[in-house]
Amino acid sequence: MPELVFFSGTMDCGKSTLALQIEHNRSARGLQGMIFTRDDRAGQGKLSSRLGLVTDAVEVEDGQDLYVYLVDHLSQGGRADYVIADEAQFLAEEQIDQLARVVDDLGIDVYAFGITTDFRSKLFPGSQRLVELADRVEVLQVEALCWCGARATHNARTVGGAMVVEGAQVVVGDVNQADTVAYEVLCRRHFRRRMTSASARAGALSPDVLPVSPY
């Protein structure tokens, strides 16, 4: 049976790499897929991984109906044996509904990839809708690590290396541009303390001590 599968995780856990691997494996067997993406770091109409791999994709626009796009593509003689949707957290809720309809009405597998929460640890609307509708939610097993070496669980936005918790939900940046808007994965402990790798280097870390009360 065709499925809507949501592959989720933090940044740096290999989501786009897996999307590219799925595309490679299926195309090597003679299958043809439709790849959607939105706001990829490599630019419009690209699906890229941090390993340097990249392929062409359809850039999803605001208000675009993905179901209608697939139907038009098939009606004009095109093939779509499967669908890959990368950066799915940036899709609108109704676009996730349209991907579910692709599975149910067209019988096509849809593989969606995205991070679950934003830099404020709040759910992206697209990711929330995927959790609600997906036949399966797969948490990727390649663990991203916080600067301290612990498992990273949160995505932090930084400006000049300092963590920020206010601003628009979607601001495109990368992990290698610390002088501007960038992103860093942190464990919960250091996310709560707003302690990035840059701020950790700025001062020596002292051991945690329990508060002492005279009473």
| Residue in 112, 108, 156 with CA at minimum distance from that of residue 132 | 112
| Residue in 32, 61, 58 with CA at minimum distance from that of residue 47 | 58
Active-site residue (options: 3, 59, 87, 138): 87
| Residue in 101, 170, 156 with CA at minimum distance from that of residue 129 | 101
Question: Residue 87 catalytic?
Answer: yes
Q: Judge contact between 19 and 111, C-beta under 8 A.
A: yes
Alpha-carbon distance values, 12 to 140, 153, 206 (Å): 10, 11, 28
The residues annotated as belonging to the active site are 87
